[in-house]
């Protein structure tokens, strides 16, 4: 209501409510494609090499919201969104709200195909673009790996391998046949690294698997530490051949940062709470909040400088928005007066002027 008093063309609250009541699947599909188009244009114009991290997360539901269901992985009732982050720009490439009954990697292959279709294979200077993908064990799928490998510009991937007895047995065989030290020397901080070729049960192709293996201790009834005979095995399947097993494991584990970006989407942009009973209306609201998240990332990447490029939106709000100010209108123009005690006034004005002239997305007019 306050914005409607100062700016023309802004919808009222009642108009917004009526719009949400008319949202349907076609609306969400069109908005989702436009969202991906914008994100991929920004990322491909900002980064020569692209690193995609895919994950599923949980959104809380209340009452009788349509599509809410028990999620076994979280042991809670809610929605089960699918998100894809670009690691370097921290932008959301894809965001899709799914019912709670959906498995973690459901729809991953068609969504990834849509994303890759929007990312150019070549950079502005004509170099083949390096695209990589990381995902947890839910994405341990031969169809998804085939999608990455059969492209004209193959996608390098590192995917957590599901801990099947057959795979763990093969890793144990590699360890046993190698010239290794005493078992007790391999701990979580200093594991044994190895690799092997592995053929999935539904695939005719053998792929590289890198793993780390270590032993743990537990106390017996007398309080003495006893070394467990069965080791812990952490395996990653990959088509990256130019990295050592230790580098592959380290590369995969860095995807934890992208999980923090998803937490920021949920906590700072309120994507963890959706306010409608209709599932399609909630899916649209989730896309709107994802768009708001991306707009901040675009602003942060293009406009902000120094350490400000690493702050969260919560820190941005407390630093640059939570300040005493007054907006007035005079002679058909608006005047923003900021309190003289504002410590970051100079940088605020610098960002404001820069935002007016920056090219937000490559190959687009200002």
Of 152, 130, 138, 73, nearest in space to 108 by CA = 138
Q: What would the pLDDT profile of 20-75 be if each residue is shown by its tens digit?
A: 889 999 999 999 999 999 999 999 998 999 999 999 999 999 999 999 999 988 89
Is 141 within the bounds of a domain? Answer: no
In a domain, 247, yes or no: no
| 181 domain-assigned | yes
Q: Which long-range contacts (CB under 8 A, 24 or more apart) does 313-316 make?
A: 313/264, 313/268, 313/269, 314/267, 314/268
* Residue 363 in domain: no
Give the closest residue to 80 by CA, choosing from 21, 19, 144, 138. Answer: 138
- 246: which residues sit within 8 A by CB, 6+ positions away? 193, 212
Beta strands in the chain (DSSP E): 50-56, 59-60, 69-71, 76-79, 82-86, 92-96, 131-135, 156-160, 192-199, 206-214, 217-219, 225-227, 232-238, 325-330, 333-338
Asked whether residue 59 falls in the same domain as residue 95, the answer is yes
Which residues of the chain are under the pLDDT cut of 70? Answer: 1-8, 219-227, 360-366
Q: Which domain holds residue 37?
A: 1-130+255-294
**In terms of domains, do 1 and 104 share one?**
yes
Residue 209 lies in a domain: yes
Is this model's pTM higher than 0.85 or not?
yes
Query: Is 111 in the same domain as 167?
Result: no
How far apart (Å, rounded) are the C-alpha atoms in residues 65 and 87? 32
In a domain, 31, yes or no: yes
- Shared domain for 116 and 216, answered yes or no, is no
Whole-number pLDDT of residue 365: 42
Task: Kindly state whether residues 18 and 113 are assigned to the same domain.
Answer: yes
Asked if residues 313 and 298 have their Cβ atoms less than 8 Å apart, the reply is no
Residues 14 and 123 placed together within one structural domain of the fold: yes
Rg (CA), the chain: 25
Q: Are 10 and 3 in contact (CB under 8 A)?
A: yes
Structural domains counted in the chain: 3
For residues 83 and 118, membership in a common domain is answered with yes
Tell whether 146 is covered by a domain: no
Same domain for 207 and 279? no
103 shares a domain with 43: yes
In this structure, are 188 and 54 located in the same domain? no
Same structural domain, 125 and 187: no
Give the tens place of pLDDT for each residue, 121-130. 999 889 999 9
pLDDT for position 2: 62
Is residue 221 domain-shared with residue 339, that is, in the same domain?
A: no
Q: What angle do CA 232, 234, 236 make, to 5 degrees?
A: 165
In a domain, 194, yes or no: yes
Tell which of 219, 242, 265 closes a domain.
Answer: 242
């Amino acid at each position: 209501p306050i914005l409607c008093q100062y700016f023309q063309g802004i919808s009222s609250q009642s108009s917004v409510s009526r719009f949400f009541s008319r949202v349907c699947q076609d609306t969400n599909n069109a908005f989702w494609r436009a969202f991906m188009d914008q994100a991929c244009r920004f990322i491909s114009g900002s980064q020569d090499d692209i690193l995609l991290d895919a994950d599923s997360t949980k959104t809380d539901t209340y009452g009788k919201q349509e599509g809410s269901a028990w999620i076994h992985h979280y042991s809670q009732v809610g929605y089960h969104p699918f998100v894809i982050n670009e690691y370097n720009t921290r932008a959301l490439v894809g965001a899709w709200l799914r019912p709670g009954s959906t498995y973690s990697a459901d729809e991953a292959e068609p969504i990834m195909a849509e994303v890759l279709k929007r990312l150019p294979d070549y950079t502005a200077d004509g170099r083949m673009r390096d695209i990589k993908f990381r995902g947890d064990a839910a994405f341990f799928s031969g169809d998804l790996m085939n999608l990455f490998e059969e492209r004209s510009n193959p996608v390098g991937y590192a995917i957590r391998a599901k801990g099947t007895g057959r795979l763990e047995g093969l890793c144990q065989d590699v360890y046993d046949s190698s010239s290794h030290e005493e078992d007790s020397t391999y701990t979580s901080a200093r594991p044994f690294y190895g690799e092997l070729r592995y053929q999935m049960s539904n695939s005719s192709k053998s792929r590289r698997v890198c793993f780390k293996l270590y032993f743990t201790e537990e106390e017996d009834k007398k309080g003495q530490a006893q070394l467990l005979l069965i080791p812990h095995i952490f395996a990653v399947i990959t088509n990256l051949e130019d990295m050592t097993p230790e580098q592959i494991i380290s590369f995969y584990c860095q995807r934890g940062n992208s999980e923090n970006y998803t937490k920021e989407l949920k906590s700072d942009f309120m994507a963890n709470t959706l306010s409608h009973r209709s599932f399609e209306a909630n899916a649209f609201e989730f896309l709107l909040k994802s768009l708001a998240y991306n707009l901040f990332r675009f602003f942060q990447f293009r406009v902000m400088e120094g350490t400000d490029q690493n702050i969260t939106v919560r820190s941005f709000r407390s630093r640059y928005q939570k300040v005493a100010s007054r907006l007035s209108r005079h002679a058909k123009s608006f005047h923003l007066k900021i309190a003289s005690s504002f410590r970051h006034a100079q940088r605020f004005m610098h960002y404001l002027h820069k935002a007016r002239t920056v090219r937000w997305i490559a190959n687009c007019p200002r």
